[in-house]
A and B are shown apart, each in its own frame.
Chain A
Amino acid sequence: DVKVTQSSRYLVKRTGEKVFLECVQDMDHENMFWYRQDPGLGLRLIYFSYDVKMKEKGDIPEGYSVSREKKERFSLILESASTNQTSMYLCASRSNYGYTFGSGTRLTVV
């Protein structure tokens, strides 16, 4: 069965910390995505990558960066976490047959 794995289900970090959210897929997909989900705002695209070392900004990239050094791994980086980045973060990968989603990481910044 195809899988997208996010390394943490729950994270609590302090304001100003550097935070890494990891996402790994085992399907050899070229396209990977990071979204955040907030009540009333739904799912919004932060960044996506269509190949190793390639990245594109989504709708809300401010305060985030990404890294794609290997095809299977797409990392979301919060350089200096802030309380407004408290959210559910979802990773996804895509093939011609559709999207596969991870289980999500609920990040709380205190």
Chain B
Amino acid sequence: GEDVEQSLLLSVREGDSSVINCTYTDSSSTYLYWYKQEPGAGLQLLTYIFSNMDMKQDQRLTVLLNKKDKHLSLRIADTQTGDSAIYFCAETPYGNNRLAFGKGNQVVVIP
């Protein structure tokens, strides 16, 4: 079954890079997603990666996927105060209609 793990709290200085990690256990997952949730708001889809890719870059965001280790990461370059939020990774295992979320990782950007 799917079991997505994430670390909890990351403090980053404005302008530095942030790296958020996620480990999943279901190797059949075909898509992996990163969502951002600001306080009091819904989830914003940031980016996603197909499981046959190793890397995807989208402006300040870089997603790395290591299928062998079932490890997904999100790197945010030049972190801004607006990046303060909770970040959830999520997967849709093959044959499963459900979006399985990680526990979430809170990023706090220090000015």
Binding between chains A and B? no
**Chain A residues with a Cβ under 8 A of chain B:** none
